[in-house]
Amino acid sequence: MDYKDYYKILGVERSASTDDIRKAYRKLAMQYHPDRNQGNKQAEEKFKEINEAYQALSDPQKRARYDQLGSEYSNWQRRGAPGDFDWSQWFNNQQAGRGGTRVEYGDLNDLFGQGGFSDFFQSIFGGGMGGTATGTRTRSAPAYQQAVTISLQEAHDGALRSLQSNGRRVEVRIPAGVKTGSKVRVPGAGPEGLDLYLIVEVAEDARFEREGDDLRTSVTIDVFTAILGGEVEVETIGGKVTLKIPAGTQPEQVFRLAGRGMPHLKGAHTKGDLFVRVKVRIPKQLSSKQKSLLEEAARNKSG
């Protein structure tokens, strides 16, 4: 069994914060997501690898256990000992450190058609590490988790995902209003009929910035509309709307469109707001008439 460097897979340092790990995962997940790489087996395998690394490093307990193994593995490499790394010795030491408790590891099913976690991952984490009775064979009822990435639009509308569970296909509804870190419980969808929790990752959207249930975007208008007033078409997550621009609108002025943001998770009928920041485009060239009128306006202002 080969050692997997999860930090290298995500492209982060071992000292990376949880936020750094999450950002790195989201960036890579967007790049290699199967929906964006239809039929690309290499991208699919890369996506599995990225997801596995995030599962290991995003959870403090899993990360601590993985780091402990990494330290042992690095020491073995530095010693230059012959042969392969003795995985059994490391696992036995871990068992002894827990008072002789023997841990059984679960087998993660083929979820979302993406395959389960690697042997390396399952050997370290399995379905959960549990048991408090010394010297006995015991097993806890672990909470199985699987990351799922959805778009901001899907977070607004709600989404469906299909997964294979115990030989059958299950349709899972992800409710509108979920945020990154939201958990969706799927009863009985884990190994041996245990519950599965989908950990939601909402991908970044080039159009909007999300702040809770509010969204922020920008729109560009010409200087004449800013001075005289007018209308501009604004893209909201629910479709395009017309925004009235009052005369004398200033650059970077923000307008609030009530109820045009994200739905509240526990009350989809109530939504956040959309804040639109206005950017004013200054023309690089003017017609003779435009220039004359502006010069006249400038003289009248100074007078």
CATH label, 6-145, candidates 1.20.1730.10, 3.40.50.170, 3.30.1380.20, 1.10.287.110: 1.10.287.110
Output the pLDDT for position 20: 92
Is the pLDDT score of 221 beyond 90? yes
For 57-108, what is each residue's pLDDT tens digit? 988 888 888 888 776 666 655 665 555 555 555 554 544 444 332 323 333 3
Q: Where are the domains of the chain?
A: 6-145, 209-285
Q: How far apart are CA 274 and CA 119, in angstroms?
A: 46
Residue 96 makes CB contacts below 8 A (sequence gap 6+) with: none
| End-to-end CA separation in angstroms for the chain | 84
Average pLDDT over residues 16-29: 89
More confident residue, 287 or 252: 252
CA 152 to chain centre: 10
Output the pLDDT for position 282: 87
Burial of residue 189, with CB atoms counted within 10 A of its CB: 0-12 exposed, 13-18 middle, 19 or more buried: buried
Q: Which two tokens mark 67?
A: 């780091």
Residue 236 makes CB contacts below 8 A (sequence gap 6+) with: 215, 217, 257, 260, 274
pLDDT band at residue 192 under the 50/70/90 scheme:
low
Sign of CA dihedral 239, 243, 249, 255: negative
Q: What secondary structure letter does DSSP report for 137?
A: B
Q: How far apart are CA 221 and CA 69, in angstroms?
A: 57
More confident residue, 252 or 293: 252
Phi, psi of 145 (to 5 degrees): -125, 150
Helix (H) or strand (E) holding 154: helix 152-157
Least confident window among 29-33, 134-138, 248-252: 134-138
Residue 54 makes CB contacts below 8 A (sequence gap 6+) with: 10, 21, 22, 25, 29, 147
Are β-strands 159-165 and 196-202 bridged in parallel, bridged antiparallel, or unpaired? unpaired
Output the pLDDT for position 37: 81
What are the respective helix, strand and coil percentages of the chain, to the nearest 5? 35, 25, 40
Topology at the third CATH level for domain 209-285: HSP40/DNAj peptide-binding domain (2.60.260)
